[in-house]
Amino acid sequence: MSSLEQLAYPIGRFAYDEAEAVRDHLTLLRKLIDFPGKLHQFLEGVHPAALESTYRPEGWNARQVIHHLFDSHTHAYMRFKWALTEENPSILPYDEQKFALLSDYSIPVEVALNGLDVVHRKWGVILENMEESDWKKTYFHTGYSKSFELRYALSMYVWHSSHHFEHIRLCLKP
């Protein structure tokens, strides 16, 4: 892996292991539900100016990564709701790079952090109350032209949380 690739994927690319996702189901749930608290704790006392640092050349700064997490996880929460209430609903991709340039990414990160708390709290209630059969439900991602099971999506968003947590850590590294 090149050094630029290492910076882009500091914990490696996402690799789904269905057996692990089934076996460690409750651990994955807990990691996703607890993520906002972990992020809040890590960012405690960080000066806002420090959030302007990037984790790699031409990469997002920590502020943008935090706002991205809110946007992405809000989308994920809604994707779960659609998949639980509709038959393989189609969901649309969004341009993350263009989202990161919108004016809401310039507001204090506390807004995104508080939003992430709310989203994960609501999402967590749904996740904790899903039946085994619910984990096999799917949504169709039009950007990838394929369906994703909710068990897969849970694993992916746990990875996504860790992936961007590490980006933020790299941004703030002295």
pLDDT at 14: 97
Q: What is the mean pLDDT of residues 40-67?
A: 95
Q: Domain 18-172 is in which class?
A: mainly alpha
* Cβ(171)–Cβ(62) below 8 Å: yes
In this prediction, residue 11 has a pLDDT band, given cuts at 50, 70 and 90, of very high
| 39 contact partners, CB below 8 Å, separation of at least 6 | 66, 69, 113, 116, 165, 168
Within a 10 A sphere around the Cβ of 103, how many other Cβ atoms?
A: 6
pLDDT in tens, 89-104: 999 999 999 999 999 9
Cα separation values, 32 from 3, 39, 95, 120, 156, Å: 28, 11, 23, 7, 10
pLDDT at 156: 98
pLDDT in tens, 110-167: 999 999 999 999 999 999 999 999 999 999 999 999 999 999 999 999 999 999 999 9
* C-alpha to C-alpha distance for 10 and 152, rounded to whole angstroms: 21
Helices marked H in the chain: 3-8, 18-23, 25-43, 62-85, 96-99, 109-128, 150-172
pLDDT in tens, 57-88: 889 999 999 999 999 999 999 999 999 999 99
Token digits of residue 114: 């508080």
| 37 contact partners, CB below 8 Å, separation of at least 6 | 117
Angle at 135 between CA 134 and CA 141, to 5 degrees: 105
